[in-house]
Amino acid sequence: MNNELKAQGSSEKAISSLTKTLPPNLLVYFHSIESIGTKMFGHSIVRSSVLSFLAHKNPSAASVRSFTRTSNLAATNYLLKYEYIPDVLEKRGPYREAHIALAKKMIEENKCLSGGPTGKKDMEVPHGALFVFTDYDAAKQYAENDPYVANGIVTSWDIEEWNVVVQKED
């Protein structure tokens, strides 16, 4: 089963869960907007927008998410953010190969989607790094096992949840 069909199946479950918690007046709005949106745009992304709007209007439904997968990103990903020491380029050498090998391993395991240094445009020295992970535990595991962290190249790290709302279609 392809990703879009899987996501549609989970979207149907989310709709079912959400509509059970909606008051009658919001349920009417949901069905009306969904019907009009599907006729106008012919795409279930309208459904995701409607569900998002209704979840904000009905706090008991806030934990229900819907997402139509159109590329490799999941509805929720986790951003691992690093801050580096100022002289990172001079000191990272002995640990760089293991740092990159760990990232590649997690990419092969589909736990990490991408990663790399961050800084100002045309940076000569990165001030940190950003990695996109598929789940929180994988991001934490990476940071806890990264030689850059263990050897003081990373001065601080943090994991943030990232909820994907829009993205490029395949």
| pLDDT for res 115 | 97
What predicted TM-score, i.e. pTM, was given to this entire model?
Answer: 0.59
- So what's the pLDDT on residue 169? 75
Query: What is the homologous superfamily of the domain 76-163 according to CATH?
Result: Dimeric alpha+beta barrel (3.30.70.1060)
Contact 84, 153 (CB under 8 A): yes
Side chain identity, residue 102: L
pLDDT of residue 42: 45
What is the DSSP secondary structure assignment for residue 43, as one 8-state letter? S
User: What is the DSSP track for 55-123?
Assistant: HHH-GGGTT-------SS--SEEEEEEEEE-TTHHHHSHHHHHHHHHHHHHHHHTTSEEEEEEE-STT-
Tell me, what's the pLDDT at 166?
86
Give the three-class secondary structure for 147.
Answer: helix
* Separation of alpha carbons 43 and 111, rounded Å: 29
- pLDDT tens track, the chain, 170 positions: 444 444 444 445 555 665 666 666 665 655 555 555 444 444 444 445 555 555 555 555 444 444 444 456 788 999 999 999 999 999 999 999 999 999 999 999 999 999 999 999 999 999 999 999 999 999 999 999 999 999 999 999 999 999 988 888 76
